Structure formats: C-alpha cells, structure tokens
Amino acid sequence: MTERNKELSKNYDPKPIEDRFYRWWLDKGLFEADVDKEKEAFSIVIPPPNVTGSLHMGHAFNNTFQDIICRYKRMRGYNVLWLPGTDHAGIATQNVVERELAKEGISRHDMSREDFIDRVWAWKEEYGNRIINQQKKLGNSCDWRRLRFTMDEGLSKAVRAVFVRLYEKGLIYRGKYIINWCPRCQTALSDLEVEHSEEPGKLYYVAYPIVGEGGHILVATTRPETILGDVAVAVHPRDENNRSLIGKKVVAPLTGGREIPIIEDNMVDPEFGTGFVKITPAHDPNDFLVGQRHGLEQLQVIDAQGVMNENAGPYVGMSVEEGRKKAVSDLEEQGYLKKVEDLPHQVGHCYRCNTVVEPYLSEQWFVKAKPLADRGVQSVENGEIRWLPEHWTKTYYQWMENIRDWCISRQLWWGHRIPAWTCQDCGHIVVAEEDPTGCPKCGSSDLIQDEDVLDTWFSSALWPFSTLGWPDKTEELEHFYPTSLMVTGFDIIFFWVSRMIMMGLEFMDEIPFNDVYIHALVRDEQGQKMSKSKGNVIDPLIMIDQFGADALRFTVAALTMPGRDILLSPSKIENYRHFLNKIWNASRFALMNLGDSDPSRPDEKDLRLHDKWIMDRLSKVNSQVTDYLDEYLIGDAARLLYDFIWGDLCDWYVEMSKPALWGDEGEDRKEATLWVLLDVFKETLSLLHPFIPFLTEELWQAFGFGQEPMEREEWKVRSSDENSDALGKSMETLQDMIRAIRNLRAEAGLPPQKSVDSVVVRTDSRDTIELVKENEDMISLLAKVERISVIPTGSDAPGKSLSSVLGSGIVYLPVGDLLDIDSEISRLGQEKEQMENNLSKSEKKLANPNFVERAPQDVVEKERDRIEEFQRKIRRIAENIASLSEK
C-alpha cells in the first residue's frame, strides 16, 4: 500500500519546505556531477558574480533560467554539470576594503602591498560567499563542490599560462598609448568599463591668431583647459574653405605665444563646429591617433589625479573643473573667446565609482585583439556557435569586426599581478609562468615584478576551460568542454562573451559553448531600469521571504519572452504565488480522495470523455513543453503549464471528477477517476519540477511517487491518443456549451450558485445531441442547470429567452419567469446604444489619417480590436433583444 500524506496543511507555506528540501538535495548529492562517459554531457558555467555582490533581480532571473534547464536536462538523463563561482572584481573589491580601512583612519598606502592583499583575502573569507548562500536560497542546483574563484590557485595558474603564451606569440605587448583613466580609482579602464551619459555642456569658439598674416581662425572646443596641451590644428583635406591654410601656423591661446601648425587629416568632420579641430594628443583618443600619424609631440597638462600639472603654467595645481573655469575667464579677458553655445554631450564615467574619466597618456599592457577576433567571427559564421535570439549575432559581428586592442593592465593591488619582471641591470623584460630567479640575458638576480594587475575580465575570459582544470588535461575538461550553454545579459556580450570565444578558440582550439542565450533586462512595471536612486529596486531576497523562491522563479520564467524585457512587480509575484496555492489545493483534493488506495489501470469502458480528454491534453502539453525546453523557451513552457493547470486541470477536470469521486457514478468509475487523477498529477508535477522544484518535491513525496528526489525520475515524453482530434473537438463543444450557459446566466444577473430550471439546445447535429445526452450530468453540475432539452433546428425557439450561438447550434436560457422582460429589454437597449457610441468614436479615430500614421502600431491595432469587440457585443445584444421580444 502506498504511503501518502493525506493531510497536507490547509495553507501552502514555502519557508519550511524550501529549507528542508534544499538540505536534502545536498545530502543526496543530487547536484554533483562526476564524469560519466555513459551519459551525454550537458554543462553550464555560471556567469560569476562579483565577490562583493548581493543577489539582485538580474542574478535571480539569469540563475533561474539556467537552473530550469539544468534540472530539465538531469531528468532527461544527461550528465549535468552546473559549475558555480565568483569573480574577484578587482576595482570593486579593492574599493570595499579601502573604505573599511578608511573607517580605521588609514589607507592602503600606509601598509605594504602584501599586508593589504592579506586584508582583502580576510575580507573575502568573511563576506565573499554571501552571494553563494543567496543563490542557494533561490534553489540553484550547482555542484557546489566545484565552486571556483578567479583568484584561486588553479585559475591563477591558468591566467599566468595564458599571459605568457600570448606574449610569446606577440599578441601581448607593452606600449604608451592614451587610455581611459579614473582619477579616483587611479587605474586604467577599458572602453567597456566607461559608462557614458548625456550631460549639459558648452561649446566654446576660440580665436587662434594666424602667424604673420593677421586675422585668426575659429576653433570650437568643449574642453578649453586642454588648449594648454594643443600641438596642432587640423582641417579636412577636402575642406575647400580652409585648405589654403594648411602648412601655416597659429598661436595657441593661453600658452604664452606657442606657435602650432595647421595640418590636414581625415579625422576632422568639416560639418561640425568651424571645420577646425584643435589637436591635443595626450588628452583625446582621436587626437592621439592624429598625433601618431603626423609625428606630433604628446604634451600632457593633466596628471593622474585629474589635476593640472607643471606643463599647465599658471594653472598648475587646479582641478580640471577649476582649470576650465579659469581658462574660460582668461580667454574672455584676453579677447580670444568669441562665442559660447549650449551643447549636451556624452561624458564618460568610471563604471565602479562614477568619477568622470580622463583620456590619459600612459604605459600599459595590451592584447592584440584583431587576430583573436577574426577566428571568433568565423566560429559564428560557420554555425559552430548559435546565438539566441539570433539578432544578437549582428551586434557581436559589429564589435568583433571593429575591435580595438584591449588594455589589460590595471593600477591596482588586488588582482592577478602581471607576470613580467624587469632586470634592473640590463633592462631586459622576463615574462614567465614561474617567478624567475635570474635574468636570462645578463644573469642578474635584481629583478622587479611589474606593479600592475590584470583586468578582471582577463581571468573571467578563461572561465569555461580554466574552471575545468586547464592548463592541466583533466577528465572534466575532456568530458564537459565545450560547455553546452551560456546564459547572460546583452550588456556583457563585449565584456565577457566575445572574449571567452576568443580565448577558448585560441587555447582549446575549440568553441567554449555551443549556444549563447542572451536574455533581456528585468525592469520595473513601468519599464524603467531598476536603480536605488529611483527607489524602484525589487530585492529578490525580500520577494523570496514574502512569497517563496518558487513563486519568484515561476514569475520570471512566465514573463520571459525572447528579445523583450521583463516588467516585474511584487504584485505579479504575488499572483503567481496564488497559482502555487492552486496547485497545492488541487493536490490536497486529490490526496484526500486517494487515501492509501492504489487504483489499477481502468478498462476503456470506464473512462468518460473528460478522462480521455485530460490525458490527451497532458500528452500534448508534455510534448510541447519538451520542445520548448529543448529550445530554451522557458517562458512559452511556463505559460503553457500555467494555462493547462489552472484551466484544463483545475477548472475543468477536477470539477468534472467530483461526481465519480463522491460515488455518484459507481465504484468502477470512482476507481477509474482515481487512477486518472494519480497519473495526471504525477506527470504534471514532473513537468513543473524544473520551474518550481520545492513545491513539486513536497507534493511528489506526499503522493508517494518515490523515495528518491524526483529529479532522478525519468522525464517521460508522452504521445497523444489516436483519437486526439475527435476528443478535443468533443470536449471543446461541451466546454463551449457550458461557457455559453454561464455567460447567459451572468447576462441575466443570476447568482452563480442559483440553479435554473432548464436550458434548451437547438441543433440537428447528431454528435452534439449524443454529447449532450452523455454529459447532461456534467452540464448540470458546471452550469447549475436542472434540465437540458434538445430540439431540432426547425423547431420554434423558446420565447422570452436569452440565446447564444454555438458552432453546432444555439443555446437558449428561458428567463420569462426569472426576469422583468420589459425592464431587461430596456436595459439591453441602453447598453446597445452605449456600445454604438463607443463604436462610433473608435471608427472616427481610425478614419483620421494622423492617428493611423503617427500613433504607435500597437495602439492602432488595439483600436481595431476594440471595434471588432464593440461590433460583436452589438450583434449579441440585438439577438437577445429579439429573443426576449418573441411571444
């Protein structure tokens, strides 16, 4: 006899369930992935969150997506590895620890580098696993034994190996170039680490006197403080108005009379400003390239702290803002400032501290990205890597085909220190995987390691193979690489995805993953990006505490549509929590009726239409959900399950099963219904499990379906009944009839629980007549009708009735004894008049060309839908007025 929990608590409480089952799964080793060559591998490496981070809604969505797929694949029999980890987050982590030190009244410069690094490690050990514990609250089914950290010993070994090998191939070099510089963090930033925002600014028109000729040219600039670093003025070679000045000289204002040449360069946009562009190679990336092409001096006037330096003359010691104000004042006083215009422009900020970034001339380490990128493009063009949604390939191509060399050095202490040493005797640079003891060129032991560390993204670019043991040849690397799927947001296609592809191809000679799924953002209900400043942040941990992890998981899954942002609100999570309550209550109903019985498979004769139909519907849902999950369409799968469970199973089948379960149809029918209930609930819980693992595990155990975690139960793919189409058509007709009667009752204003004497069905369809005869008890039960009469089409319609047209006939609800007919006709007339007014307004809107051409397409379509709805209602009201008017 099956042991079941026949007394589930009346109310579903997720807290004790979720904590208990997560511990049980871990104890059972459910998520552990050892190499099993008998099974097909499926692997995902989790996008490693910053070790400083806390779970936010973007993490929750990203992790839920991956967890659904991993749980599904386990149930399909794959050897699934979901490998977790965290990123050392160089700038962010160093900033956190420096803030802690500041509370003690000290800075990192008051201690040795080694002591500071020890403090960071101590912080990491105490706080660094916070986000891991939060991921567990969400239900992440990662193999936690394999937790990796980008600074752990194995990954550090991989980083060194990659750096050395790229250097030896000439793909890493050191050079003095203009880079993005954060004056606050005191480090270089890649282009991708600079966030731009539009801010109000000014365009200053400055006169540069022409040497020896009198007169002047007019140069427009947004940064007058950098005039002090001007070394040339450029015009476009085909600028007919100004090209005659090429080769002449002008005086740079504010410089004490320094003369600079007028040169020609294609960089200049002759349509912007005056056609003249000041060239300051040390403080503008485009000017830097112009300076390289023309061999111009690189004159720096702003230092690493964002302060005007000794080359700035009287401006020395001023901040950039102070220098700008002083320069504008001096230009105006000296007569050089001719005009000022307002000009909103894009200003770059450090992605970590929001300080305005300075273009800064500095010696840094770079990766030659183009040779690596070319192969990365080919891998996608050849179909080796599939992007979902596909349109992201265009974004990927655009960036890869226009890629610039990657600045990988950072002026930090926390991170992978660059494995390069300079000999203090001969200047030779030694790059090595192991710390060198002597200079290979001169034998000196006086070697000093480069002070800089590597960009955080350098180590995370190796994530798919370094986490599996590379550069060692491990079993895991052989079995689980390339990984199967990468799930991430579009905002790090360049930061991370592209670089993983380049590094995977370079060092594994193989793609790092087969599929890349790019998900959209989670926004608030108004479509705004969540931010603390707006006060619209939804904290997933608070949502889990209020509604449970399963409710949050199912919500973000059900709202997922490829290419569309998720618009989330607590009320939506609460609504899906109601869905989980629905599942819980339906299961309680089934368990109370099942008791400890083990119903046997019934004979065909003991199954009614609704029994066969629900099993066939479940087979179709099973097949479709399987197809959806194979294509990572978790939103389509979740919405299909929601509609099936709430509608088909709970609203229809459970209600239709009650007479049999109450014993009104005999013991054979009761036994058959119990068997169907048990079979349907078992399969439904299985389909739901990847989405809501905690609730389904609790119910799985309550039904007594197995002693082991349900994830070890095979995912069965069902096939439809051979009479599937006929079943569906018959059930649809029955449902339409019941809905029609319910709608007629509502139109008559009858209370839902009040039973009516009769309805009349007028039809000549033999199938419909037989359907009504066989299911009169179901119609009576679900539509609250005492008697159903069937009359042929040629018969007179019953008078004083409300009617509804079906595909195979007409349903009439006699209301002569239930309503004041004259009052009802009057009410319907008023309603019809209102609908006609609404219809007229909508038709006028669509007749207006301005509305049709200028309004958003979805607004226009909505108006067309309204017209169809008004027309339908008008016809419906007219039919009822006519029917009620019949004597």
Nearest to 567 by CA among 43, 136, 25, 57: 57
DSSP-derived secondary structure letter, 445 = -
Q: What is the pLDDT of residues 32-82, one digit of tens each?
A: 999 999 999 999 999 999 999 899 999 999 999 999 999 999 999 999 999
Class of domain 569-721: mainly alpha
Which helix H or strand E contains 209, and what residues bound it? strand 202-209
- Domain positions in the chain are 30-173+370-405+456-526+562-568, 201-343, 569-721, 746-885
Decide if pLDDT at 248 tops 70.
yes
pLDDT mean over 260-280: 91
Class of domain 30-173+370-405+456-526+562-568: alpha beta
Q: Rounded to the nearest 10 degrees, how much is the dihedral formed by the CA atoms of 442, 448, 451, 456?
A: 60
Domains 201-343 and 569-721 share a fold: no
Give the pairing of strands 447-449 and 420-423. antiparallel
pLDDT mean over 756-762: 92
Give Cα 306 to chain centroid, integer Å: 37
Instruction: Specify whether the CB–CB gap between 432 and 164 falls below 8 A.
Output: yes
Strands of 513-519's sheet, edge to edge? 386-388, 513-519, 483-489
pLDDT mean over 643-659: 97
Q: What is the pLDDT of residues 405-415, one digit of tens each?
A: 999 999 999 99
Angle at 118 between CA 113 and CA 367, to 5 degrees: 60
d(Cα 547, Cα 18) in Å, to the nearest integer? 12
370 has binding-site annotation: no
pLDDT mean over 639-663: 97
Nearest to 13 by CA among 702, 685, 547: 547
d(Cα 114, Cα 101) in Å, to the nearest integer? 15
Instruction: Specify whether the CB–CB gap between 798 and 814 falls below 8 A.
Output: yes
Bridge partner list, 365: 174
- Distance linking the first and last C-alpha atoms of the chain: 63
pLDDT mean over 562-581: 94
Q: What is the pLDDT of residues 539-552, one digit of tens each?
A: 999 999 999 999 99
Determine whether 258 is exposed, middle or buried from the number of CB atoms within 10 Å of its CB (0-12, 13-18, 19+). Answer: middle
- Helices 570-594 and 667-688 pack at an angle, to 10 degrees, of 150
Residue 6: predicted pLDDT: 61
CATH, range 201-343: 3.90.740.10
pLDDT category of residue 887 using cuts at 50, 70 and 90 = low
Q: What is the pLDDT of residues 116-169, one digit of tens each?
A: 999 999 999 999 889 999 999 999 999 999 999 999 999 999 999 999 999 999
Q: Where are the alpha helices (DSSP H) in 193-319?
A: 285-294
Give the pairing of strands 148-149 and 85-86. parallel
Give the 3-state secondary structure of residue 651. helix
Side-chain-side CA neighbours of residue 215 (13 Å): 5
CATH fold group of domain 746-885: Helix Hairpins (1.10.287)
Q: What is the pLDDT of residues 806-841, one digit of tens each?
A: 888 889 888 877 767 777 788 778 888 898 999 999
- Per cent of the chain over pLDDT 70 is 99
Give the pairing of strands 216-221 and 202-209. antiparallel
Angle at 497 between CA 495 and CA 503, to 5 degrees: 100
d(Cα 246, Cα 264) in Å, to the nearest integer? 6
> Tokens at residue 304, please?
């690493």
pLDDT category of residue 371 using cuts at 50, 70 and 90 = very high
Question: What are the two backbone dihedrals, phi and then psi, of residue 315, each rounded to the nearest 5 degrees?
Answer: -90, -5
d(Cα 552, Cα 574) in Å, to the nearest integer? 9
Entry pTM = 0.87
The one-letter amino acid at 348: G
Give Cα 803 to chain centroid, integer Å: 48
> Tokens at residue 736, please?
């339409």
